[in-house]
Every structure is written in C-alpha cells, then in structure tokens.
Chain A
Amino acid sequence: MQHYNMNLTLKVWKQKNSKTKGAFESYKVSNISSEMSFLEMFDVLNEQLVSEGKEPIAFDHDCREGICGMCSMYINGRAHGPWSQNTTCQLHMREYKDGDTIVVEPWRADAFPVIKDLVVDRSGFDRIIQAGGYISVNTGNAQDANALPIDKQKADESFAAASCIGCGACVAACPNASAMLFVSAKVSHLALLPQGDPERKTRAFNMVNQMDTEGFGSCTNIGACEAECPKGISLENIARLNREYIGSMLSGSNAEGLTN
C-alpha cells in the first residue's frame, strides 16, 4: 500500500463546559501520514496547540483498538466517520487526501450533555443498565457451566447482541436521539439465554422506562442506528425488544422489578 502525507483543515467543535455555548474553530494540520489513525492525527494537532501555548481539544479515547467504546467523534456528519462498522480510533487517514476539510463534532443528544469540546456525558447508559440490564446471580450461586446446554444459534445471536460497546453512536446518528438500539441489544443478549429468562418480564419494561426518564427520544424505525453502529448490531434486536416490552405489559408484572 502506498503511503502519502497530506495537509488538512479541521473544523472542530469547541465548548468550555456544559454551561457555556460552543462554536466551531478552524485548525490547519500538515504532514499527516496516511498510516495514522484519526486520533493520532488529533494527537498531532494537540501537540501543535500545546507548543503554541493554546489549549488542546478535549476528546474521549482509551483503548484505541475499537472495543472500549470511549471514542465518540461525529465526523463530516457521520458517527465515527465514513467507514462502516468502525470506531473513530480505527479510522485511518488513508481515507483522506491532501487539502480535505474535515468537520468534527461531539455526539449531539439532550441525554448526552457536552462536558467539554468533543467529550459528552454518557452516564445515562449506565443508569439504563442499572434498571435491569443484568442477571441477578450472586457470586457462588452458579451451577456447572455445562449443566445447561444452549442452542448454538441462540448463543451466537446473544453474543452478536452482547458485542455492543456502549459508545452511543446509535443515539448520535438517530434524528430522535433514541437509545433503542442500545437498549434492545442488552435486552436481546439476555433474553436469548435461558439464564436471562426469569427476569425477562421486568427487564424490558424497566430499561425502556429508564431510557425515557433519561430523555432519549423514541424510535421511528429510521434505521440510522444500525447503519452507524460500529459493531453491526442489528435492527432485529429492536423488533425483539418491542416483543419483550409488549410481553411484559401483558403479564402485568412489569413494575415489580423496580423494587425487587
């Protein structure tokens, strides 16, 4: 693969904190190698800003291998940038050419307030998990792992749903800022396993309830979430969540899980 260097213009959202208003600022970066990752390009920009005595751009990142879910940039109108099933940290600069302008914004959603620049507060996702995204099994309660065979196909589907990294791209991509794909991935992961069965009736109800409380929007079947999900979480999960939710409404036992 041929490597090359490029000069770029970046328009990046700058915002001091959640209380102040933000605005775009323009930056120039030069000699960016096509082998760099997108975040390494930001490292170069930040080093440049520090050396000029200016404040660097705050952005969330950690593992830089596409699994922790921490990085969260909205790049030229797309969550995690142009590559499909990809995180920002795994986007590489060979996507761009010399002279390009790149616009970078934070996730935009009422439920994800901006902390600073490109960093947002996604703690709403944790609270949704607290509402029921678990199996109530204490340490020491378990039987032998092979005592309960699980149909391979179901186990594989459960794994596919469980591969959600909780990054919030689905919310950022959705015009309604709905968290349905995130919630449905967790509900599906657990509903597809026999271990998750005893709490099915309350789980979907309580998690959806919490999602609404957090201020995430409702789902209108647009599908942008699936298109932008870095882990390819399928819309089928939302269909399953709807079935689970209706099931819990019909059972009449929906709110009990809140107090148990």
Chain B
Amino acid sequence: MPLNSKIPAGPIDSKWKTYKATCKLVNPANKRQLEVIVVGTGLAGASAAASLGEMGYKVKAFCFQDSPRRAHSIAAQGGINAAKNYQNDGDSTYRLFYDTIKGGDYRAREGNVHRLAEVSANIIDQCVAAGVPFAREYGGLLSNRSFGGTQVQRTFYAAGQTGQQLLIGAYQGLERQVSLGNVEMYSRHEMLEVVMVDGVARGIIARNLVTGELERHFGHAVLLCTGGYGNVFYLSTNAMGSNVTAAWKAHKKGAFFGNPCFTQIHPTCIPVSGDHQSKLTLMSESLRNDGRIWVPKQKNDQRKPSEIKEEERDYYLERRYPAFGNLVPRDVASRAAKERCDAGYGVGSSKMAVYLDFGAAIERYGKIEANKQGKPNTSKEEIIVLGKGVVKEKYGNLFDMYEKITGENPYEMPMRIYPAVHYTMGGLWVDYELMTTVPGLYALGEANFSDHGANRLGASALMQGLADGYFVIPYTLGNRLADDIRTKAIPTDHPAFVAAEKEVSDRINKLMSIKGKESVESFHKRLGKIMWEKCGMARNAKGLNEAIQEIRELRKEFWSNVRIPGDIEEFNPELDKAGRVADFIELGELMCLDALNRNESCGGHFREEYQTEEGEALRDDEKYMYVAAWEYKGDSNFELHKEDLNYEVVHPSARSYK
C-alpha cells in the first residue's frame, strides 16, 4: 500500500491556507448528527474535544485518570513556542519552521511543520483569551524566554508550570462543553479496542476502571490523543499511567506506526538514586537559559563543587558548541553528558551526573538588581542575596522540587542532573489531515509521529498538542465527515461491536487466568532495563539484536508467569497495568526493530556505528531520508513501508550548533 501523505500542492506558505479555503464543510444541522470519540484529555484531546463540541459535533471524551485535568500535559514545565516576534529579534513563521525542521534532523515533513509554525501565533491568542495567566513584563505585555536549538526568544511561559496552565485552560473549555451537553465525559475509563465496521473506525471498547465493566461506544470518527510511550523504558519523566495501549490497539487494527525508535532523552533530569525509583523528574530546559553545565576537568574528582576552581571546570557544552552553548538541542546535550560520564568525569555518588550551576547567574542578576535599586557599591554577599531572589522568581518551583527530591539546596550548590527518557517523536503514522492508515481513525499530539522528526525542540510539544486540537482537526475532520452525513449512528449491538468486546474480554480473562508468580511491576522493570541499555541513548546492531531476543523471551514469560491479584469486575489497578505492560513489551520489540533498520544516526537516534570523528550524529540522507511506517502483520511480524521525505524549501545539511 503506497503511503499518501496528502500534502497539498503549492508553495509552502500557501498549502494550509489553500487547504482551509477548499476543504469540505459540514453544515450545523448535520454536525449535530455526527458523533466523535476523543480518547485522552491532554492538550491535544481537551482542545480537540472542546473545539469540536463548540462546533456542534456530538463528542464523547475518555480519560483513564479521575479527571480530564490530570492528563500528563499538566506536568510540562518550561513553555510553549510561538512565532510572534514580540521581542523584535528576527523571529518569523519561517524561522520557527526552519528551526523545527533542523532541530528534527531533517526527518520531519515540511508541510506539517510549516502549518504548525503558522498556527503557533493563534495558539497564544486563544490561550490568553481563555484566561491562561502567562508571565508578563511590567508594561503588562507577555514575556518570553529562550529554549534550546533557537537563537530567538519565542517561548511563552507561566513560571515552571506552563503545561498546567495551558491544560487547565483547555480543560475549562472542555468542561464548558460538558455543561452545555455537547461533550459527554468518561473519566476513569480506558480504551481497549478500536471497533472496525467495513474497514472504517466506528467506535471503541472502553473499560470502566471503577467497576471493571466493558462498554461499547459508537463514533463516526475516533481521535486518539493518548500521548507518548516513554514508559516503555519503565523509568521516564512520564506519569505512572502514561501508556501506549490505545495507540497499540490501533496499530494492531491496521494503523501504521511511524518511526517508533525516535525517542527523546532529556538532558536535565534528577539522576536515579536507587532501585526503588519509580519515575524520573525533569528539571525544565528553561534552566539552561541561566544554568551552566560542567564537570571537573580532572577524572574522578571527589571534591565538593564549591572547592573546584573556575579554571578546573570543563563547561563542555560551551567548549564544544560555542554558537549555542548551553542551549544546544536536547539530543546533543544528552549525548554530551553521557560522553563525559562514560569517560569518567561524572559527579555525585553514582558518577552518572553532571552539574547544572546557577552561581554565575545569581551573581549577574544580583548586580543588575543592585543597580536597579541604585546601590552600585553593594557587597558581594548582598549581591548574592539579591540574585537568589531573582532566580527564585524565575525558577522557584523547580528549585523547590529539586530540594524535596534530593534534600539538597540548589541555591547553595549546583544541581546534579543526568539525561532521562522524556518524549517520543515516533507514534502513529498520520497524513496531513492527521488521519492514520485506518479510515476514520485520527491521532493528535504526541500520539502521532508527524512534526518533530528525529528530535523535538523544547517548548514544541505543547505547541503541537494545541495546534492539532484547536486549529487542525476542526478543519480536517470536517473534510472527511462531510462525506459521512448519510451514515446513521451504528447500534452497538452490531456484530463488529460484539466481536470487539469479546476480543477484549478474552484477553482480560487470559491475563487473569495465568496466576503466575511474578508481579506486573517486575516485568515492567525488566523490560525497561533492556530498552534503556540496548535501545536508549546509544544503540548498536549487536545490542538491538540481543534486545529483540530478550524481549521475545520476556513476553513468553509474562504470558505464562504474571501474577495479577484481585478480580476483573472491580477497581483493579494491577490488572489495568498488566494490559499496558503487555502492550509495551510488544512495542519494545518494534522499537528495536526500527532502530536496527535505520543504519544511520539522526536526532535522538544514535547508532554507535554511525558517527563523525567528533562523535556527532552521522545521517545517511541517501538511504534513510524516509519515515519508517510499520504495518502489523501478526505476532512479532512487521512490514516496513517508506514515506520518502521531500525537502522543497529547506536544504538538508549537516546539523551544526558549533
């Protein structure tokens, strides 16, 4: 089957305008007859459900948490990009487009990325109108900061809680539609199957997580807004419940999976402290605006950071990448940290950490503040006090979080940080209209693969989630449903619903009947270890081949020895988790297969065999300038389809931040 990305013809900056002007519309009376299922209520799902409800569609929204407001978008810290050029620093739609394409190491689609950059400005307008309290300057206008991989200030933020504020904005819009009766909300529900009628996605099977009952829900279309699959690594910055299950069920029903191996390892996370660790906590990239990253120049240096003099420190990012310094993109910063630690320069008890130091920033801000207060002769001690005040205002909540977790005060000593799994660029393959290879089944936000190529720039996930939900799907869904107005709601006693429900209940019964000895958690940890060691920050063919074998064995063991306590017809988090881990195990194998297939290094995908003499990623545009879209062919069997990437505007070159 040839993949048709459906990118509109014409110059890059008129594709989306032309699409919007010519796509089909659904009249208001018909919208009231059309039902849409939205799974997931993060930025993409909540904004899509709210917008579609406003337009008059009959929407059903689902989330596994106890409230739509808890989706993991809430935890995004640093900010959201938009090409507003409020700072007069040369930003434009084109620059945001270009930075994103380059940041993604030339593995994203130009058409999608340009559209993302175009609607970015509308997102900020929409959010402000909905009451999102972004940071402001004294003049009352919006404030911006820098993020990695760019040389302009285009990131809008709300302290270190930008995701929270944006999600609450979208959630409130969603709840308004619930109160108006346009959206029916199903909390504590998990989607466990797509229902296909005549080759079209026409509904879902969901499990009520409180009662354990299975439910059938019809929709003319199904939107998956279910986030990423970083938890395949067990330890990640994702929430404990974040999972791939909805996307994986869709994959097994025919939706191709795009670039599954493209994983983002975030450079600044609090390091692992022990085997008990259940998750890793991010320290926002915004900290790299002011924090300087270093390790001692001397190997295995046991001294306290305060005892290591300036000239004995190696600010390795500033040394290696003078043009971008501490603000290189995430993949570059993560690999550089790993390189220093592997070479024996790491710090802390595990030696798997580097310092993120605010000393210089505190002094610099302190001086500015002293001048502002008209006290140029302030003592150094007082300058430090003033500077700490400024840093507290900017990053206070992050510093508090660091102190709670580590018990150390980052105002007094540098933070210790290390890379951790954070985001997945890969996801369900979608065309320009965000539709998967299954007709009527869409994927939005992190759940799709489309906009970030092999590496996502900071503050672009929030942008993409809201772009897809607020500004893209309202047009593209109508373009399909305009031809569906004669389709009456399919009753849920249709054989396709009955069969899909049986599939789900058979699987649940099978899981419960194993009654083995090992806990779900233990299997998840073992999977994570394989993935992190062999399909993590650095990969090679030998390791990946081993990982595939190990995962297959783990899968067999899981299905013969997992122990799930409790019953089916009750609130049973262990059972919920078992289903998710079973899907992660299958996905893990596909990720390794994809990483093995891609004999090049690009963005977050670093194959040790393919690097420059300086240790930078070495792309192979001749052979691998394509999206790897995998088709499920049954049990450990996947067929590769290629979507060639055509760069009409940006000319791919070696990606340099030096």
Question: Measuring CB to CB, which residues of chain A are less than 8 angstroms from any residue of chain B?
Answer: 1, 16-17, 33, 35-37, 39-40, 43-44, 46-47, 49-51, 53-56, 58, 60-70, 83, 85-86, 90, 92, 94, 115-116, 119, 121-123, 125-126, 129-131, 133-146, 148-152, 155-156, 158-159, 162-163, 165-166, 189-190, 193, 195-196
With A43-B521, A67-B74 as known contacts, state yes or no: A146 contacts B86, CB within 8 Å: yes
**A56 & B168 in contact (Cβ 8 Å cutoff):** no
Query: Chain B residues with Cβ under 8 A from A51's Cβ?
Result: 519, 563
Inside 8 A of A47's CB, which chain B residues have their CB? 519, 521-522
Residue numbers in B under 8 Å from A130 (CB-CB): 175-176, 178-179
Given contacts A53-B565, A139-B474, contact A196 B131 (CB under 8 A): yes
- With A58-B573, A137-B130 as contacts: A143 and B277 at CB distance below 8 Å: no
Instruction: Report how far A163 CA is from B135 CA in the complex, Å.
Output: 13
Q: Closest residue to B161 on the A side, CB-wise?
A: A163
Q: Pick the residue among A58, A145, A152 that contacts B137 (CB under 8 A).
A: A152
Closest 3 CB pairs of A and B: A149-B140, A134-B172, A142-B129
Interface 9-mer from B190-198, B364-372, B401-409: B401-409
**Most chain B beta carbons < 10 A, residue from A55, A67, A142:** A67
Tell me if B339 is interfacial: C-beta within 8 Å of chain A: no
| CA gap between A39 and B165 in the complex, in Å | 25
Q: What chain B residues lie within 8 Å of A119 (beta carbons)?
A: 571
**B318 nearest CB across to chain A (Å):** 29
Cα A148 to Cα B75 with chains together (Å)? 28
CA separation between A86 and B405, bound complex, in Å? 11
Total inter-chain residue pairs, C-beta < 8 Å: 225
Whether B125 and A143, one on each chain, are in contact in the complex, defined by CB atoms closer than 8 angstroms, is: yes
Contacts of B163 in A (CB 8 A): 67
- The answer, among A44, A133, A152, A193, for a CB contact under 8 Å with B276, is A44
Query: Among B175, B187, B563, which residue has the most Cβ atoms of chain A within 10 A?
Result: B175
**Which of B68, B133, B139 is packed against the most chain A CB atoms within 10 Å?**
B133
B164 touches A40 (CB 8 A): no
Q: Which of B231-283 contact A (CB under 8 A)?
A: 237, 239-241, 273-274, 276-279, 281-282
Contact in complex: B75, A65 (CB < 8 Å): yes
- Minimal beta-carbon separation of B70 from chain A (angstroms): 4
Q: Is B412 an interface residue (CB 8 A)?
A: no
| Residues in A neighbouring B136, C-beta threshold 8 A | 149-150, 152, 155-156
- B570 at the A interface (CB under 8 A): yes
**A189:B133 contact, CB within 8 angstroms:** yes
Q: CB distance B72 to A63 under 8 Å?
A: yes
B165, A116: Cβ atoms under 8 Å? no
Question: Quick check: B278 and A37 within 8 Å, CB to CB?
Answer: yes
B404 lies within 8 A of A90 (CB): yes
Which residues in A have their C-beta under 8 angstroms from that of B127?
A: 145
Contact between chains at A123 and B66 (CB < 8 Å): yes
CB < 8 Å: which of A33, A86, A139, A158 contacts B404? A86
Residues of A within 8 A of B130 (CB): 134-135, 137, 142, 195
Most buried by B among A33, A55, A130: A130
- Once A40-B277, A155-B136 are accepted as A-B contacts, the answer to whether A141 and B129 lie under 8 Å apart by CB is yes
The dominant DSSP class at the A interface is loop
B356 CB contacts on chain A under 8 angstroms: none
Instruction: Say whether B159 faces chain A, with CB atoms less than 8 Å apart.
Output: yes
Knowing A137-B129, A152-B140, say if A40 contacts B168 (CB, 8 Å): no
Seed contacts A69-B70, A94-B407, A145-B84; 6 additional CB < 8 Å A-B pairs = A63-B239, A69-B74, A149-B140, A152-B137, A162-B168, A190-B131
- Knowing A56-B565, A70-B70, say if A62 contacts B571 (CB, 8 Å): no
Q: Please give me the residue from chain A that is nearest to B277 by CB atom.
A: A40
Q: Which residues of B contact A92 (CB under 8 A)?
A: 404-405, 407
B401 to A65, Cβ gap below 8 A?
yes
Could you show 30 A-B contacts with beta carbons less than 8 Å apart?
A43-B276, A43-B278, A43-B521, A50-B563, A51-B519, A56-B574, A62-B70, A62-B72, A68-B65, A92-B405, A121-B66, A126-B67, A133-B172, A134-B131, A134-B175, A134-B176, A135-B129, A135-B130, A135-B172, A143-B125, A145-B127, A146-B142, A148-B128, A149-B139, A152-B138, A155-B134, A158-B131, A159-B135, A162-B165, A163-B164
Query: Is B207 in the interface zone, CB < 8 Å from A?
Result: no
Contact for B66 among A70, A151, A193, CB less than 8 A: A70
* B468-510 Cβ-contact flags toward A at 8 Å (1 or 0): 0011001000000000000000000000000000000000000
Residues of B within 8 A of A83 (CB): 404
Which chain B residues lie closer than 8 Å to A49 at the CB level?
565
Give CA–CA (A36, B492) in the complex, Å.
Answer: 47
Most chain B CB within a 10 A radius of its CB, from A54, A139, A140, A150: A139
A49 CA / B474 CA spacing, docked (Å): 48
**Cα separation A245 to B164 with both chains bound (whole Å):** 27
When chains A and B are docked, how far (Å) is the Cα of A66 from the Cα of B125? 28
**Whole-angstrom distance between the Cβ of A206 and the nearest chain B Cβ:** 10
Expressed in whole angstroms, the Cα–Cα distance for A54 and B140 within the complex equals 58
CB distance from A258 to the nearest CB of B (A): 9
Among A17, A141, A145, the residue within 8 A (CB) of B142 is A145
Q: CA separation between A90 and B278, bound complex, in Å? A: 12
B173 within 8 A of A: yes
Q: Please state if A62 and B276 are interface contacts (CB–CB under 8 Å).
A: no
Instruction: Give the distance to chain B from A194, nearest Cβ to Cβ, in Å.
Output: 10
Contact of A155 among B133, B161, B400, B565 (CB under 8 A): B133
Indicate whether A122 sits within 8 Å of B133 (C-beta atoms), given known contacts A62-B241, A67-B74, A146-B86: no
CB distance from B611 to the nearest CB of A (A): 34
Residues of chain B within 8 A (CB-CB) of A133 are: 172, 175
Chain A's closest residue to B163 (CB) is: A67
In the complex, what's the smallest C-beta–C-beta distance from B32 to chain A, in angstroms? 16
Q: Is the CB of B276 within 8 A of A33?
A: yes
B128 CB contacts on chain A under 8 angstroms: 142, 145, 148, 195
Q: Within 8 Å CB of B161, what residues of A?
A: 67, 163
Q: B278 contacts A35, CB within 8 Å? A: no
Interface check B69, CB cutoff 8 A:
yes
- Given A61-B240, A129-B172, A130-B179: A142 touches B126 (CB 8 Å cut-off): yes
* Cβ A63 vs Cβ B75 within 8 A: yes
Q: Which among B65, B142, B281 is the interface contact of A70 at CB below 8 angstroms? A: B65
**Across-interface contacts of A137 in B (CB, < 8 A):** 126, 129-130, 173
Contact A60–B239 (Cβ < 8 Å) = no
CA distance A187 to B637 in the complex (A): 54
Closest Cβ neighbor of B471 among chain A residues: A139
The 0/1 profile, CB within 8 Å of A marked 1, for residues 149-160 of chain B is 000000000110
Minimum Cβ distance to chain A for residue B391 (Å): 17
Task: Encode B174-211 as 1/0 by CB contact (under 8 A) with A.
Answer: 01101100000101000000000000000000000010
CB neighbours of A56 from chain B (8 A) = 565, 573-574
Which residues of the other chain, B, contact A122 by a CB distance below 8 angstroms? 66-67
Q: Which residue of B lies closest to A121 (CB)?
A: B66
CB within 8 A of A40: which of B178, B278, B522? Answer: B278
Complex Cα distance A253/B185, Å? 29
Q: Shortest beta-carbon distance, A109 to chain B, in Å?
A: 15
* Chain B: minimal CB distance from A230 (Å): 11
By beta carbon, the residue of chain B nearest A186 is B172
Which residues does chain A contribute within 8 Å of B344, judged by CB atoms? none
